[in-house]
Amino acid sequence: MSYFDGYAQGPLNTNQSVKFNLTKRGQKILDDHNAEVRATCKMLGDYSATKVDADGMHVMQLHVAMKVFGAANTVGTESPFENCVMTILR
């Protein structure tokens, strides 16, 4: 059995959805992003960058996750994702 069995393999598209749990730091980053977007456009009063699935995991497109969490995901800092795991959905 390979380490990668059951995980996404092959070409990756940034429009694919990813699924993850957030740490407290990650949740604050997401909350700050959502508040900034809502303040920028009053018509988006209920905006959220992620959807939450039945298991309580956040789901969003990879390019959005890169935009929201990319600057905070650097060497030497706490990962915004629980266990540093982000699953790519196929």
Instruction: Enter the pTM of the model.
Output: 0.81
Segment 11-67, tens digit of pLDDT: 788 999 999 999 999 999 999 999 988 889 888 888 888 899 999 899 999 999 999
Residue 6 lies in a domain: no
Segment 60-79, tens digit of pLDDT: 999 999 999 999 888 888 99
Predicted pLDDT of residue 29: 95
Sequence length of the chain is 90
Count of the separate structural domains present in the chain: 1
pLDDT over threshold 50, residue 1: no
Type and span of the H or E element at 51: strand 51-52
Residue 2 lies in a domain: no
Amino acid identity for residue 33 in this structure: H
Print the domain residue range for 53: 17-88
Residue 7 lies in a domain: no
Residue 5 lies in a domain: no
